[in-house]
Amino acid sequence: MDIIISNSVKDPIYHQIIKQIKELVLTGKLSEGDSLPSIRQLAKDLQVSVITTKRAYEELESDGFIVSIVGKGSFIASQNQELLKERRLKIIEEKLIEIIEESKLVQLSKEELMEMILILYGDDLK
């Protein structure tokens, strides 16, 4: 498992940890039952404070990405594939809304926008 922390970006460190572990799960590099380093081990390896990694794990846990078992450590939780897909669809939906609003700002018609999407989507598929 690789986690790369940047000290020069605005994003707080605990957030960077959360983002990267989620990414590892979504891309399938980490799967159900895989064990994660302990909070204190990760803090030592990344040279950050214990509270930082603790906070990251706590949020991952409340988001259902990991489970922590006292005395055993933290593991990747079973991921409900349907749920994951649903979450991703929601993200796409939100981004589309953003695009539509932007389009309205410059008075782009529905047809023109659709055309644009068709062209771009088609190009990607080639």
Partner 1 sequence: MTNVVEFNNVKKSFKNFSLDDVSFSIKKGFVTGFIGANGAGKSTTIKLLMKLLRKDSGNITIFGLDQDKHNQEIKERIGFVYDENCFYDTLSIRELRKIIAPMYQKWNDNLFYKYLDQFSLPEKQPIKNFSKGMKMKMAILFAISHDPEFIIMDEPTSGLDPVFRREVLELLHEIMLDDQKTIFFSTHITTDLDRIADYITYIHKGKILFSKEREELLTEYGIVKGSNDLLDRDTVKEFVSIRKTNVGFEALTSCVKKTKDIFGDEVLIEKPSLEDIMYYTNKGDLKCTL
Least distance from C-beta 120 to partner 1, angstroms?
A: 33
User: Site residues (CB under 8 A) for partner 1?
Assistant: 10, 12, 14, 38, 40-41, 43-44, 47-52, 55
CA proximity to 30, closest of 90, 78, 62: 78
Name the residue nearer to partner 1 (CB basis): 59 or 79: 59
Strand 66-69 relative to strand 35-36: parallel, antiparallel, unpaired?
unpaired
Least distance from C-beta 125 to partner 1, angstroms?
A: 42
Name the residue nearer to partner 1 (CB basis): 12 or 33: 12
Residue 14: Cβ within 10 Å count? 21
Name the residue nearer to partner 1 (CB basis): 49 or 78: 49
Least distance from C-beta 108 to partner 1, angstroms?
A: 27
For residue 70, what are the contacts with CB-CB under 8 A and spacing of at least 6? none
How would you label 61-98 residue by residue, b for 16+ Cβ within 10 Å and e otherwise?
eeeebbbbeeeeebbbbebeeeeeeeeeeeeeeeeeee
Name the residue nearer to partner 1 (CB basis): 10 or 126: 10
Separation CA 76–CA 29 (nearest Å): 11
Least distance from C-beta 40 to partner 1, angstroms?
A: 5
